[in-house]
A and B are shown apart, each in its own frame.
Chain A
Amino acid sequence: MSKDAIISVEGVFKEYDQAPILERVNLDVTAGTFCTIVGASGCGKSTFLRMLLSQEHPSRGQILMEGHPLPPEPTPDRGIVFQRYSVFPHLTVAENLVLASEIAAAPFTGRLFGSRRKKALTETEALLDRIGLSHAANRYPAQLSGGMQQRLAIAQALVKKPGILLLDEPFGALDPGIKLDMHELLLGLWDEFGMTVFMVTHDIHEAFKLGTRLLVFDKVRHDPQAPEAYGATITYDLPLSDPEMKSGRLPEEIAETIHVPKTALSSGFQTPNPHEERS
């Protein structure tokens, strides 16, 4: 483990009912990294993210955050954005954003009233403006488009100023045009808040475009008689800060290794692996 790592993953294995999902995962991530994670479906990349969140726990090995073992449950120092169900449907946009400060200020009721509530709402106005939802402050999530909901989800996850932001395919359900807007917003916020980002995505081009470091999860050992016998691990760990890496044939090569057809890179559509049949 290196000293300046905000996250250190040490020999992590994860099994469900004896079926290995991840094996021998080792990783050091320095603070401020934008780490994108790709891999075939079911390769355990979302499991890995859930372990970083303490929603799940490693079967073996440990994960350290700033040198200390991760707390056993989700805490405010790690924000999360899911693909769906990321915002509270019973709260308006403004209420969703103000919830974190209400929770911090009122341990028993979890609510603020009168002038304190007004003050808290005023404080979220800048953030509302930043994500372009000022006009929709009093709407419920069901009245927002998918892109607006995800913008709200990202803003809500950043209210507590977490050192680590976890994103689980946050833009997987969005149109390509909306995705580009979201990329801009996310990169802007990353610049502004300086948090460490872990983002799982299906879209390899998105992973190359956004990340400063790309992790590819894949199985290194394959038993054709028992495809479930081995778990996945990190097979590629690419620094992307060098602009050379972002261009060229690399995305296609990665796509090939994780068996995503190049023509369907952004849809996440999967075809059977041709190499498997030969072996």
Chain B
Amino acid sequence: MRLINRKPSRTTALMLGLLPFLILIIVYTIASQARLAENPSDRLLPSLQSMANAMEKMAFEPDRRNGELLLWKDTFASLMRIGAGLGISTLLALVIGLTMGTLPYGKAALAPFVAAFSLIPPITILPILFIILGLGEAAKIGLIVVGTAPVMIRSVAQAALDIPRELIIKAETLGASSWQIATRVIVPSVLPAAIMALRIGLIPAWIFLVSAEAIASTEGLGYRIFLVRRYMAMDIILPYVAWITLLAFIMDYLLRVLSRVAFRWKHLEGDSL
């Protein structure tokens, strides 16, 4: 049988999926052991054991200075920021994107502005945000919004524009008003695309979150990584990076499941990631 027609079984697929991770861990362990054999106090590639020890301290031993469990405190702070930022972005994407995608007047008024705004490198806005909003939470959430909203707005608007014209006309012949067409046809058709936009927005959201935390913060996953960098504490940095990756993966996974459960009609045909 041709290679393109051969499909792995569920277990084989799972094994194959895990394989690259396993290879990475093995390669790392070998490299780490080689360096540590030469110099036991090497900090660049700490052993898995020392990383586990360091993380155990971060997660379960109260910090000496303020008695807090740093990993959970950082995680909570970062998740609050990313949640607030993406929440605001999603809301903006739905309101502005749907206005642009539904109403010709909305598109004429908003599309050029959103297109121009989306070309501003978000990180250049950060100093402005710090000056206007101070160094607190608002500036960091603001950066996430600036970094994710324009793209999300445009994907929602495009999804609304991609609805076949026939469906809108059919709704008109059923007597629907503009508002009813928006709420009964356009919004339900666009929501799966909004979730997809949110999933794609997760990537820049984490980038801008870590950037903002690295520059001005007193807690947060990004803040911690850049803080311990001064001591070359790779035994904390590497597990933190893995932890951020895991959190991002879980968020993406939950959104994917949400889309499949809530919008079953959208997933009846074709393959998707």
| A contact set with B: CB distance below 8 Å | 53, 55, 73-76, 78-80, 82, 84-91, 99-100, 102-104, 107-111, 140-143, 156-157, 159-160, 162
Interface string of B256-271 (1 = CB under 8 A from A): 0000000111101100
A140, B180: Cβ atoms closer than 8 Å = no
Q: Is B67 an interface residue (CB 8 A)?
A: no
**B34 nearest CB across to chain A (Å):** 55
Q: Is residue B36 contacting chain A, with contact meaning CB distance below 8 A?
A: no
Identify the closest chain B residue to A99 (Cβ): B174
Partner of B184 from the list A103, A104, A142, A159 (CB cut-off 8 Å) is A103
| Cβ–Cβ contact B174 & A90, under 8 A | no
Establish whether residues B166 and A75, one from each chain, have CB atoms under 8 Å apart when the complex forms. Answer: no
Q: Using Cβ atoms and an 8 Å threshold, which residues of chain B touch A79?
A: 173
Assembly CA distance A78 to B169 (angstroms): 11
**Is B177 an interface residue when CB atoms closer than 8 A count as contact?**
yes
Report the nearest A residue to B189, measured CB to CB.
A90
- CB contacts (< 8 Å) of B177 on chain A: these are 107
Tell me the bound Cα distance from A140 to B265 in angstroms: 6
Given contacts A85-B164, A90-B263, A108-B179, contact A75 B174 (CB under 8 A): no
Is B112 an interface residue when CB atoms closer than 8 A count as contact? no
**Assuming the A-B contacts A107-B180, A110-B176, are A90 and B266 also in contact, with contact meaning beta carbons closer than 8 angstroms in the complex?**
yes
- Do A90 and B173 contact each other (CB < 8 Å), given the known contacts A85-B166, A99-B184, A110-B184? no
Query: What is the distance, in angstroms, from B172's C-beta to the closest C-beta of chain A?
Result: 4
Interface of B is mostly: helix
A192 to B170, CA, bound (A): 22
Q: Does B22 contact A (CB under 8 A)?
A: no
Contact A75 B188 (CB under 8 A): no
B263 CB, nearest partner CB in chain A, Å: 7
User: In the complex, given contacts A75-B173, A103-B180, what are 16 additional A-B residue pairs having Cβ atoms less than 8 angstroms apart?
Assistant: A74-B172, A76-B175, A80-B169, A85-B166, A87-B170, A88-B170, A89-B266, A99-B171, A107-B177, A107-B180, A108-B179, A109-B183, A110-B176, A110-B179, A110-B184, A142-B269
- Report the interface size for chain B: residues with CB under 8 A from the other chain: 25
Residue B185 at the chain A interface, CB threshold 8 Å:
yes
Within 8 A of A (CB), among B153-167: 164, 166-167
| Contact between chains at B173 and A160 (CB < 8 Å) | yes
Q: A110-B180, A140-B265 are in contact. Are A103 and B174 (CB under 8 A)?
A: yes
- Are A156 and B170 in contact (CB-based, < 8 A)? yes
A86–B170 CB distance below 8 A: yes
Contacts of B164 in A (CB 8 A): 84-85
Q: How far is the CB of B73 from chain A (nearest CB, A)?
A: 42
Q: Which residue of B lies closest to A55 (CB)?
A: B169
Compute how far the CA of A276 lies from the CA of B183 in the bound complex, rounded to whole angstroms. Answer: 52
Q: Mark B102-137, 1 if CB is under 8 A from A, else 0.
A: 000000000000000000000000000000000000
Q: How far is the CA of A55 from the CA of B167 in the complex (A)?
A: 12
- Identity of the chain A residue whose Cβ is nearest the Cβ of B188 in the assembled complex: A90
| B167 CB contacts on chain A under 8 angstroms | 85, 88
Residue of A87, A88, A91, A100 with most partner-chain B CB within 10 A: A88
Flag if A111 contacts B173 (CB, 8 Å).
no
Give complex CA distance A100, B171 in Å: 8
The 13 listed contacts between A and B (C-beta, < 8 Å) are: A82-B170, A84-B166, A85-B164, A100-B174, A103-B176, A107-B177, A110-B184, A111-B184, A140-B264, A142-B268, A157-B173, A160-B175, A162-B173
Choose among B173, B176, B266, B268 the residue that contacts A143 (Cβ–Cβ < 8 A). Answer: B268
Contact A86 B166 (CB under 8 A): yes
Q: Shortest distance in angstroms between B192's beta carbon and chain A's nearest beta carbon? A: 9
Task: Find chain B residues with CB under 8 A from A142 CB.
Answer: 265, 268-269
| Contact for A53 among B169, B175, B176, B263, CB less than 8 A | B169
Q: Are B268 and A140 in contact (CB under 8 A)?
A: yes
**Chain B residues within 8 Å of A91, by CB:** 265
